[in-house]
Amino acid sequence: MSERLIAAPTALAPAVGRSRSPLVGTMRRALGFGRTKVGLGLVFALVLLALVGPFLAPHSTTEFVGSPYETPSGEALVGTDNLGRDVLSRFLAGGRSILALSVIATLLALVVGVAIGLFAAYARDWRDDVAMRALDVVLAFPSIVLVLLLVSVVGPELWLLVLAVAASHAPRIARLVRGAALEVVDRDFVKAAEVLGEPRRKILFGEILPNITSPLMVEASLRLTYSIGLIAAISFLGFGLQPPAADWGLMINENRIGLTVQPWAVVLPVAAIGLLTIGTNLVADGLARALIGIDRGTAR
């Protein structure tokens, strides 16, 4: 024990004295890949579209500008939807909800998942086992089925949607965090903090968490990709935002019957969702490659 105490300050030194955190290093390396740049570009463009779009809309999202499923004309640049509303205006206004809901759900899942994962990794006793088995149970439901199960009785409430999506992602984040944290909990600086009598909360979030930010970043961008897809899918099924809201997922649901006569009302939101998820996934892949680069560098 006394040896460890003596060793502690030197072990702590590199962590404190390091000018760049490992996360910044990973992000820099990730930016070196073409795919990360393309991904960031896509995400940036679509977020901009979602945020600024509503102000550029030529019509109100609920205003009737023509008869249903009109093809593009001077009045409606890309045609009208199933009720005769302007597709362009509804498309420009429809990105905000998906972005906001999926970002909130992902953040919530991160907070819960990180807390459970760190706790389990640090406890490493029966509590770890119980937590992991409990997560296995939640994982037995495909995300969409879990969300539908929760929506089935309470109804399509947005807060419930966010909670349900977060609940389906938190176990996966917790598993990853636990795995990454297990490699850290035995390090000397954790032991040093224990000897110094730091409270568990401080050890978990002050000592261990900063050392697993890089894999967490990769996981977060992946989870965001899936949150976007899941939220959009739920809206597409009709259990997300309710009419007359303008929402990309709901637009696909409302207009798919008119696909043969007026494809734009479906193709635009589908393309936007597709490009957004491709963008976030490219960023995730770039970060993952940068992260593996570190491992390879030390292994070879």
Partner 1 sequence: MSEIRQEPLAETMQPGGFRRPRFGGIGWFIVKRILLGLLTLFVISLIVFGATQALPGDTAQAILGREATPERLEVVREQLNLNRPVTEQYTEWLTGVLTGDLGVSLANGQPVSTFLSDRVVNSAFLVLIAALVSIPLSLLIGSLSAMKRDRPFDTITSVVTLALAALPEFVIGVALIVLFGTTVFQILPAVSLVGADTPVWEEFTVVILPALTLILAVTPYISRIMRASMIEVLESDYVEMARLKGLRERIVIVRHALPNAVIPAIQVTALQLAYLAGGIVVVEFLFSFPGIGGALVDAVRTRDLPIIQSLTMLIAAVYVGLNLLADIATILISPKLRTALS
Q: Which residues bind partner 1 (CB under 8 A)?
A: 35, 133, 136-137, 139-145, 148-153, 168, 172, 175-176, 179, 222, 225-226, 228-230, 232-233, 236-239, 252, 256, 259-260, 263, 266-267, 270, 273-274, 277-278, 280-282, 285
Specify the residue, 97 or 277, whose C-beta has the smaller distance to partner 1: 277
- CA distances to 85, 140, 165, 202 from 7, rounded to whole Å, are 71, 45, 45, 21
Q: How far is the CB of 203 from partner 1 (least distance, A)?
A: 23
Sign of the C-alpha dihedral computed for residues 10, 12, 17 and 23 taken in this order: positive
Specify the residue, 115 or 273, whose C-beta has the smaller distance to partner 1: 273
Specify the residue, 254 or 285, whose C-beta has the smaller distance to partner 1: 285
**Residue 244 preceded by cis peptide, ω within 30:** yes
Specify the residue, 8 or 282, whose C-beta has the smaller distance to partner 1: 282
* DSSP-derived secondary structure for 27-92: HHHHHTSHHHHHHHHHHHHHHHHHHHHHHH-SS-TT-B-SSTTPPS-SSSTT-B-TTSBBHHHHHH
Specify the residue, 65 or 167, whose C-beta has the smaller distance to partner 1: 167
Residues, the chain: 300
Q: How far is the CB of 106 from partner 1 (least distance, A)?
A: 13
Q: How far is the CB of 280 from partner 1 (least distance, A)?
A: 7
Q: How far is the CB of 172 from partner 1 (least distance, A)?
A: 7
